[in-house]
Amino acid sequence: MDIEAFESSLESGAESPAELGDELKALWHDAKGDWGKAHELCQSAGSRDGDWVHAYLHRVEGDLSNASYWYHRSGQPKFEGSHKEEWRSIVQELLSR
């Protein structure tokens, strides 16, 4: 799946595409406005990528100290751009793997 197909699935789907891992499903649900489901999915992912998404979600929430903790755990730098730019950047990186 590429970024265009991922974004298109947001328009057409009531559920995230089945082939996605929990980290991408979390970002999908975040884009659909379901922060709670996104948070649940990234916590259950049990991976550094899940920690990265977790950091992003706490940044969106405005809990910057918690976000800093999760950025550190993920090994990713704190993002300095907009939430939308970070969301897209993470999605693209995860889809490329």
Q: Which two tokens stand for residue 90?
A: 């993470």
Sign of CA dihedral 95, 91, 74, 23: negative
Tens-of-pLDDT digits for all 97 residues of the chain? 999 999 999 998 789 999 999 999 999 999 999 999 999 999 999 999 999 999 999 999 999 999 999 999 999 999 999 999 999 999 999 999 9
- Per the document, the length of the chain is 97
**Per the confidence metrics, is the pTM higher than 0.75?**
yes
How much is the pLDDT for 12? 87
Q: What's residue 84's pLDDT?
A: 97
Angle, CA 49 vertex, CA 16 and CA 96 arms, to 5°? 70
DSSP 32-59: TT-HHHHHHHHHHH-SHHHHHHHHHHHH
Helix, strand, or coil (residue 20): coil
Task: Give pLDDT, residue 13.
Answer: 77
